[in-house]
Amino acid sequence: MAYQALYRVWRSQRFDDVVGQDAITQTLKNAISQQKISHAYLFTGPRGTGKTSAAKIFAKAINCPNSHDGEPCNECENCRAITNGQFDDVIEIDAASNNGVDEIRFLTERANYSPTKGKYKVYIIDEVHMLSTGAFNALLKTLEEPRESLVFILATTEPHKIPATIISRTQRFDFKRIDTSAIVGRMAYILEESNQPYEEQALEIIAQAAEGGMRDALSMLDQAISFADGTITLADVMAVTGSLTYEMMDQLLAQCLNHDAAAALTTLANILAEGKEARRLIENLLVYCRDLLLYQKAPQLLEQKAGHLTAEFKQLAQQLSSQQIFYWIKTLNETQNEVRFTNSPTIYLEVCIVKLAESKQPEANISAIPKEQTAQQLTVGHDETAAVITELKQKVAQLETRLKQLQVADSQITVAPKKTTDHTPKQKQNNLRVPRNQVFTILKAATKENLHQTQNVWEDLLASLPITKKAVLRQGQVRAASPAGLVITFDYEIICQKAIDDEEMSQLVGTNLSKMIPNYAPTPVYLTSASWQDLRREFVTAQKNGSLLAEDSNEKNEQEDAQPTASSTDSKVEKTKNSVSDLAEAGIEDDDLLNHLPPEEMPLEDPAQKAVALFGEDVVKVIDD
């Protein structure tokens, strides 16, 4: 019989033989045992993780008359025919070469026929993501209304390329990368069954190079068996995989630690001259730096590698700080990403080595100090530390005494109360300018109609603005509206200042409002909520005193030397009523407007109306004199 590769000879024939996918295999076994077989499955995951093998085992198990606990017997006629690829009811298709709509239509037509030998007709479509859009659409109809005896198993390494309508009609199983220890165990089992001697360290190097793929590991193991002369040694595997020995990496990174870039580049050139691949070299250096970090922080995790950890490796781990190792790993990882998209990986690798050699070692490295020396220093310095602590305690006690004396002295000082003469709005103390005249102009002409119209379309206005401007304006609140302007307040000064500085936003507010409210394009005025409260009170007082009318007519204010009479008081009260009434007409009425007025200037309540409110219209009769 012709020679077969190891991965073909040792392909899994039972679910228990599938390495590293225990959860998936147990789920499939239970489904078969309980007769809960779905019409479509989707197996996803990296290459060499057992997707196609699991699909074939599943096809054997559901068609095996002697199936036990979800496992095929592998001895009956059906099982042997499926293993040899000669079973008519199990069809395996490579979607990479049969990705057209015609091939899938032919497949769906054949799917309408009942199985001839087994219980189920199984279609295994490998690399299903390679199908065209038309082919997916042709397959979709069959997945929607499948026959009872029809099962589809779709396998892919790129599930994101499969339409969601296909995925939603399947049971999805994600195959993960196989753990290094599981790969080593499987290879050891195969070599022992083949009576092939080996070194365990050699298998670990193969497992690391396989990157979680069992098929890749068996392919490299096959090469190592052919290359080795008897026992598979670490040197044989290093030569086959192109990996670096620890001695090579010890020398290279020691030169980088000593900032000897020239020597490091020379060592790198010698390594590449031996046929080592740049990408593989970067990966080996990353693993080496990871091992340095683990040796410092968790040496128990490197027990399996303890046999090939050199003295130079341990010395490097003591000399390097964690921060230095972090920088090396970061630099190597960046270089690994860069070489993926270049045809000259050697150049990037040389630049990386120069970066590692020029990186600076932190000044202090506690991990490099021997434990015995550290203990001696702590013992010698214990007395000095105690003396320093005692001195510090004395200084703290002295400071506490002085602090108490200062507190007593402060309590004896009489501070004269300040006269509150500054009635300037609070916001004027800050850098934010308060637009007093603009606000007063809007308040004079403000109407409830304009305010309600603006409030009704406010959310639509925000939606029409760019996202950054909408975020700013959403923090504001419309307080007053006139035919020509809006008063918008903000709780925070920084947001208010941002709105004031954004002239484009003010133009958009007027333009967009004119589209929502016919013939209405106001100019917004922004201020803080605190400034609004101050200006609102100032406006009420000014309107009550008539100073606003004087400003509008540009007339000079006359000084009133006479004492206020009853008629003047009535006049003030009437003005107060009018001012509050005007503000209510403008839609900015608030109880707070009256709370700040002096008691003698509060608007008088009609006694007759109060009596009617208390006793009712039936009891009280109002007679006008």
Residue 208 has pLDDT above 50, yes or no: yes
pLDDT per position as a tens digit, 352-402 = 999 999 887 554 444 444 544 445 554 545 556 677 677 777 777 877 787
Q: How many helices (H) and strands (E) does the chain have?
A: 30, 8
CATH of the domain at 482: 3.30.300.180
Pairing of the two strands 523-528 and 485-490: parallel
> What tokens were used for 76?
């009956």
CA 37 to chain centre: 38
| CA–CA dist 152, 5 (Å, integer) | 28
pLDDT: which is higher, 529 or 307: 529
Cα distance between residue 320 and residue 71, in whole Å: 53
320 and 468, same domain (yes or no): no
> 545, 560, 577 — which closes off a domain?
545
Residue 578 maps to a domain: no
Planar angle of CA 215, 217, 222, nearest 5 degrees? 95
Which amino acid appears at position 509 of this protein? V
Q: Look at residues 221, 241, 261 and tell me which one is the last residue of a structural domain.
A: 241
CB 199 within 8 A of CB 308: no
pLDDT, tens only, 304-334: 665 567 788 888 888 888 899 999 999 999 9
Residue 415: DSSP 8-state: P
What is the extent of the structural domain holding 465? Answer: 436-545
* pLDDT tens digits, one per residue of 86-132: 888 899 988 888 888 888 888 888 888 888 888 899 999 999 999 99
**Which domain CATH number covers 320?**
1.20.272.10
Number of CB atoms found within 10 A of residue 488's CB: 23
- Residue 278 and residue 189 share a domain: no
Same domain, 50 and 162: yes
**Three-state SS letters, 275-323:** CCCHHHHHHHHHHHHHHHHHHHHCHHHHHHHHHHCCHHHHHHHHHCCHH
What residues contact 60, with CB distance under 8 A and at least 6 apart?
72, 74, 78, 79, 82, 83
Measured distance CA(240)–CA(198) in Å, rounded: 15
Q: How many CB atoms lie within 10 A of CB 210?
A: 23
CB 87 within 8 A of CB 118: yes
Q: Is residue 566 part of a domain?
A: no
The answer on 346 and 315 residing in a single domain is yes
Segment among 68-72, 136-140, 350-354, 572-576 with least mean pLDDT: 572-576
d(CA 353, CA 262): 10
Residue 429 lies in a domain: no
Instruction: Establish how many alpha carbons lie within 13 A of residue 158's alpha carbon, considering only the half-sphere containing its beta carbon.
Output: 8
CA atoms within 13 A on the CB side of 521: 8
The verdict on 235 and 253 lying in the same domain is no
What's the whole-number mean pLDDT along residues 31-55?
92
In a domain, residue 571? The reply is no
Residue 231 is part of a domain; what is its CATH number? 1.10.8.60
Domain boundary among 358, 383, 400: 358
Q: Residue 574: left if φ>0, alpha if ψ -120 to 50, beta else—which one?
A: alpha
Q: What are the b/e assignments for 345-355, b being 16+ CB within 10 Å?
A: beebbbebbbb
Read off the pLDDT band of 583 (50, 70, 90). Answer: low
**Cβ contacts of residue 69 below 8 Å, gap of 6+?**
29, 33
Report the DSSP pairing between strands 476-481 and 121-126.
unpaired
Catalogue the long-range contacts made by 334-337 (C-beta closer than 8 Å, 24 or more residues apart): 335/282, 336/279, 336/282, 336/283, 336/286
CB-based burial label for 324 (10 Å; 0-12, 13-18, 19+):
buried
- Give the chain's end-to-end CA distance (angstroms, integer): 132
* The pLDDT value given to residue 419: 43
CA distances from residue 501 to 285, 395, 468, 498 in whole angstroms, order as listed = 54, 53, 14, 5
Residue 10 and residue 108 in one domain: yes
- In terms of domains, do 57 and 151 share one? yes
Residue 374 inside a domain? The answer is: no
Burial (CB count within 10 angstroms: exposed 0-12, middle 13-18, buried 19+), residue 17: middle
The verdict on residue 411 lying in a domain is: no
* Residue partners of 578: CB distance under 8 A and separation at least 6: 543
Q: Is residue 375 part of a domain?
A: no
* φ, ψ of residue 158 in degrees (nearest 5): -135, 75
pLDDT of residue 383: 57
Tell me the average pLDDT across 492-499.
87
Cα-to-chain-centroid distance, residue 141: 38
User: Are 142 and 168 within one domain?
Assistant: yes
User: Which residue type does 549 have?
Assistant: L
Q: What mean pLDDT, rounded, does the chain reach?
A: 80
235 and 250 co-located in one domain:
no
Q: What is the mean pLDDT of residues 594-607?
A: 49
CA 597 to chain centre: 55
Task: Summarize the confidence of residues 341-347 as an average pLDDT.
Answer: 87
Q: What is the count of structural domains for the chain?
A: 4
Are residues 227 and 257 located together in one domain of the fold? no
Q: What share of the chain is helix, strand, coil (3-state, %, to 5)?
A: 60, 10, 30
Task: Please give the single-letter amino acid code of residue 334.
Answer: E
Statement to judge: residues 35 and 147 lie in one domain: yes
- Does residue 320 fall inside a structural domain? yes
pTM of the model: 0.53
Q: What is the mean pLDDT of residues 538-551?
A: 71
Supply the CATH number for residue 37's domain: 3.40.50.300
pLDDT of res. 211: 82
Cβ count near 314 (within 10 Å): 14
Across 172-176, average pLDDT: 94
Listing DSSP states for 577-609 in one string gives HHHHHHHHHTT---THHHHTS-GGGSPPPPHHH
Domain co-membership, 39 together with 126 = yes
CA proximity to 564, closest of 539, 600, 596: 600
